[in-house]
Structure 1
Amino acid sequence: MATQANNNKGKILILATETCAYPGADSVGQAHSSYPANTYIMRVRAPVLFPEKFYLDCFKKGICGIIIMSCGEECPYEGAYKALAKRIDNVYSMMKEKDIDIRRLRLTAICTVCNRSFLNEVNQMNTLIQELGPPALV
């Protein structure tokens, strides 16, 4: 439930797994908690399905920060989390080449009832992107 004023803040994209993180985000709304309105949640089956280029394209199109909220090691798809972690390492290398601060991309595990963890991740990313400003066009 994004209710705080936007105030031209940079956009944060959250890729939330449908089995863990998305229900966790839903529990934030059920608890009537709020998070910054510049946050956009995309429900995904498995973030490992997104190629490395996807993340760079997001930054190019105006996304200032990306949080990948997954099930972590409890992912229902065998080997998917390890493959995702490896993919994100590759993305970090690509970001360094493009001179994009790697703190703009975070991989974290969020469970179905992790309200505080969800809010903490969003607020930390929001603070970071306010400090860094928009990413340089890649």
Structure 2
Amino acid sequence: MTPKAQNPGKILILATESCAYPGANSVGQAHASYPANTYILRVRAPVLFPEQFYMDCFKKGISGILIMSCGEECPYEGAYHALAKRLDRVYQLMKTADIDIRRLRLTAICTVCNRSFLKEVNDMNALVQELGPPTFESAV
């Protein structure tokens, strides 16, 4: 009998429409592949998502979240720094709920960053396979 394949866990990517989403598209245009457990959500600016959004994602079965943004090149003044501050608060919520903070990662991806995009996705995939699904305490 062969061993049962491990559930790879779902990875959510929040990809900014001006940088990271075109970068993800360029990966497809290059006919490169990445794990099938990856779901890309095109967003205007990830700073629009409140802290509880991330916690709810983990509760609903997302094992890892990649926020792929424009970084310092964000077209919305102050949004990247506000996002970084928001994620600091999310990391505190994750620690309180005993969720490994490596499950949430902020990275800058440009419109043609194929290798960087693939590296981030593959690294997160390896991590969620290693950690398994997140577990929750009643405090979450």
> 1:1-138 maps to which residues of 2 (within 5 A)?
8-137=7-136, 138=140
Distance, in Å, in 2 between the alignment partners of 1:45 and 1:68 is 12
Q: Segments of 4+ in structure 1 off by > 3 A?
A: none
Change (3 A) 1:117 1:45: same
How much identity, in percent, do the aligned residues show?
A: 82
Higher Cα Rg, which structure: 2
* TM-score normalised by the chain length of structure 2: 0.93
Distance, in Å, in 1 between the alignment partners of 2:61 and 2:106 is 19
Letter in 1 for 2:115: R
Q: Give how far 1:8 is off.
A: 2.9
Provide the aligned C-alpha RMSD in A. 1.1
Q: Give how far 1:9 is off.
A: 1.2
Letter in 2 for 1:108: T
* TM-score normalised by the chain length of structure 1: 0.94
Query: How many pairs does the alignment contain?
Result: 133
SS in 2 for 1:77: coil
What 5-or-longer segments of structure 2 have no aligned partner?
Answer: none
Could you list the per-position Cα deviations for residues 19-72 of structure 1 after superposition, in whole angstroms to 9, with x for gaps in the alignment?
000000000000000000000000000000000000000000000000000000
Change (3 A) 1:7 1:131: closer
